C-alpha cells in the first residue's frame, strides 16, 4: 500500500527527505551536495511517498510554484509514485490559488511531465551537469 504525505522539512521528516535525495541525485546522478542542498528546503513544502511504512520518494515546491527535487528510490520506480508526488504538489498549489506551477525537467523526463499536463518552454539548459527543459502547467 502506498500513500503520499504533505510534510514539513523538520526534524521528523528531513532525514528521510535527505536520504532519498542523496541516493537518487548524489549517488546515482553525481550531483554535488552543495547543489542538491541549496538552502531552500526549510521554506518549501515537501511530500513523501510511503510504501508499506517506508519512505521511498519525495518532492518539494517553493512558494512561487516551482516544483523540484522529485526523487523515487530505484527499487520503487515504475509504480506510479513519481506521478503521485507531482500530482500532490500540483493539488496543493491549486488549493493555495497559484496560477501555475513550473519545473526544470531532466530531458529524459520531459515525456513523464508532459503526461501530467506540463508544457515545455524555452531552450534546453544544463543544471548540475544534466540537460534540462523548463516546463509549466497553468492551474
**Per-residue pLDDT reduced to its tens digit, 49-82:** 999 999 999 999 999 999 999 999 999 999 999 9
Measured CA to CA, the distance from residue 103 to residue 69 in angstroms comes to: 10
Q: How confident is the model at residue 1 (pLDDT cuts 50, 70, 90)?
A: confident
pLDDT of residue 100: 98
Q: How confident is the model at residue 85 (pLDDT cuts 50, 70, 90)?
A: very high
Collapsing DSSP states into helix, strand and coil, what is residue 13?
coil
pLDDT of residue 92: 97
Overall average pLDDT of the 13-38 stretch: 96
Measured CA to CA, the distance from residue 109 to residue 9 in angstroms comes to: 25
This prediction's pTM:
0.95
List residues bridging with 6 in a β-sheet.
47
| Domain at 2-98: CATH architecture | 3-Layer(aba) Sandwich (3.40)
Q: How far is CA 42 from the centre of its chain?
A: 15
Q: Are the C-beta atoms of 138 and 99 separated by less than 8 Å?
A: yes
β-pairing, 54-61 vs 45-51, is: antiparallel
Q: How confident is the model at residue 2 (pLDDT cuts 50, 70, 90)?
A: confident
**What residue segments make up the domains of the chain, in order of their start?**
2-98
Amino acid at each position: 500500500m502506498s500513500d503520499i504525505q504533505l510534510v514539513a522539512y523538520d526534524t521528523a521528516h528531513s532525514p528521510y527527505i535527505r536520504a532519498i535525495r542523496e541516493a537518487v541525485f548524489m549517488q546515482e546522478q553525481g550531483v554535488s551536495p552543495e547543489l542538491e542542498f541549496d538552502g531552500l528546503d526549510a521554506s518549501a513544502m515537501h511530500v513523501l511517498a510511503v510504501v508499506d511504512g517506508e519512505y521511498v520518494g519525495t518532492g518539494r515546491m517553493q512558494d512561487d510554484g516551482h516544483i523540484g527535487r522529485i526523487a523515487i528510490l530505484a527499487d520503487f520506480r515504475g509504480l506510479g509514485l513519481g506521478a503521485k508526488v507531482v500530482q500532490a504538489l500540483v493539488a496543493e498549489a491549486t488549493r493555495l490559488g497559484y496560477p501555475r506551477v513550473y519545473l526544470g525537467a531532466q530531458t529524459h523526463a520531459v515525456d513523464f511531465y508532459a503526461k501530467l499536463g506540463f508544457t515545455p518552454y524555452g531552450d534546453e539548459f544544463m543544471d548540475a551537469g544534466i540537460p534540462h527543459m523548463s516546463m509549466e502547467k497553468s492551474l
